[in-house]
Amino acid sequence: MSTKDAESRMKKSIKALEEEFAAIRTGRASTALFDKIMVEYYGTPTPLNQVATVSTPEARLVVIQPWDKSALGDIEKAIQKSELSLNPNNDGKVIRINIPPLTEDRRKEIVKSAKQIAEQAKVAIRNIRRDANDQLKQQQKDGEISEDEEKRLQDDVQKLTDTYTKQISQMLDAKEKEILEI
């Protein structure tokens, strides 16, 4: 594994973390909350955004407008079954969801969950570092690179690790601030 491979894998870990954080509920309405919701559409689990338009016309309101009105009930059921703890209002044309403000306890739980997700991302970054270093040691052992070259490349991998670990911490701080703001 080259440093470029390691960096590519680290970037993928950051991208996965961004997606995880986008799906975490804050006190504000966000279409990203509904990205992982699957709707039974003609017997097939289908992502919500492929059967309806999801929009946030106000800070605490999400409106879901299905392209096929017959899917309204299935969309409503999918939202109720989700872990979001939201109550959809179906008026026969669109589904409106008021995003209630989070309680202090719920905010703390969500922050705790976000910290766990961030820690998992840091572990993934450290595992990539370990894999890269193991590969460098093997290359040095096989005579493909010199000892000095191995040392220099390991330093490069460590710098990448530090950079991405710091980026994860910054992302967590921003998410925590977003969750805790009222």
Give a three-class secondary structure readout of 28-41: CCCHHHHCCCEEEE
- In the predicted model, is pLDDT for residue 162 greater than 80? yes
Contact 126, 116 (CB under 8 A): no
Per-residue pLDDT tens for 88-117?
Answer: 888 888 888 888 777 888 888 889 989 999
Q: Which CATH number fits domain 31-98: 3.30.1360.40, 1.10.3720.10, 3.10.129.10, 1.10.8.350?
A: 3.30.1360.40
Average pLDDT, the chain: 86
User: What are the structure tokens assigned to 179, written together?
Assistant: 């969750």
Q: What contacts 108, CB < 8 A, 6 or more positions away?
A: none
Neighbours of 138 (CB within 10 A): 13
Q: What's the confidence (pLDDT) of residue 165? A: 95
Which pLDDT value is given to residue 49? 84
- Decide: helix, strand or coil at residue 103: coil
Q: What is the dotted CATH code of the domain comprising 3-25+103-181?
A: 1.10.132.20
Inter-axis angle of helices 104-141 and 3-22, nearest 10: 170
